A and B are shown apart, each in its own frame.
Chain A
């Protein structure tokens, strides 16, 4: 069985590293992108099953990436979890209405991320 795939999009290398360790622990093969445009280029080739997405990033932010991803062929398939420092209810609602499957407020830990993956049906 091919392992399931997850793309972690965050401009912080440390966050990517922490998230990677947790997501690999859930049995995923992980790729990383440092901003939305890198992530979009990646998704032009192969679309991962789950995308963990920061909001505020240089070059292209998470919201722009999400809208463009959803317009790609096959772009509705991946489960997208925003994962950001932004915790205001109206911003969370905005992300969900833009097509995010779930939303993780930083800081998070393995238990939170695991439960989020379970709730969106990724594990």
Chain B
């Protein structure tokens, strides 16, 4: 991969996904694009990129973009956030909504572990929820939708007891059971796209996603999240992530790492 190819990849990632592909990921990018090139019928990564620059085909462009996103996730990643969600927020919100399902968005769900972890927490709390889980990557969504995980993946973050209660064993895989699957709807969405409808959520999880966003695009991404969140809703980021400097739409909740609510400014703007 030439430096020029990498520059073009960087601008492709920013313009289409709002994703900051840092220079230290050049080797990683080359490594990740190898399988894409093979799948798409190119001899080499360079040949694939050459073709993409000469004749930008949307499907190939998205295949390249997907491969460069950061898919890492695991069950109950940052366990404290899931405990806050399941043991404090959900029981309170469930009551406040009077039995109506609490609406939750897993934004940037990758291969789905976050969405299933939310569904598990809701089942254990006995609170009705509707979970929408979105990602930019179709391949990640396919895996998420299958609900199937290897022994290695399933036990990263889940107790065996929880695994047995919510997953069925099939050959070498552990598959989310029917009750869990009925709770989550997976769809493709790009966080740089502004909402085009009025659908809003009570709780949004968007963790370890915006940290990889291009700083110039991060503000609008936070604004898009804010527009999707009800006024008394909550936003979860990764425990070390902060909207500070990028957005004034949210303020942190004291003593709760990674938990944010709408700031008074955002509320005023809505009013």
Contact = CB atoms under 8 A, between A and B. Distances in A.
Contacts, number: 44
Contacts of B8: none
Given A89-B169, A115-B74, A119-B79, A96 B160 contact: yes
B161 interface: yes
B155 A120 contact: no
B80 to A, nearest CB: 10
Interface of B: 74, 76, 79, 151-152, 155-161, 163-164, 169
A91 to B, nearest CB: 11
A89 B74 contact: no
A102 B156 CA distance: 12
Interface residues of A, number: 21
A111 B74 contact: yes
Interface string A87-112: 11100110110000011110111011
A70 interface: no
23 contacts: A87-B169, A89-B169, A92-B164, A96-B160, A96-B161, A96-B164, A102-B160, A103-B160, A104-B160, A105-B151, A105-B155, A107-B152, A108-B152, A108-B155, A109-B152, A111-B74, A112-B152, A115-B76, A116-B155, A116-B159, A119-B76, A119-B158, A120-B159
Contact of B151 (A87, A102, A115, A119): A87
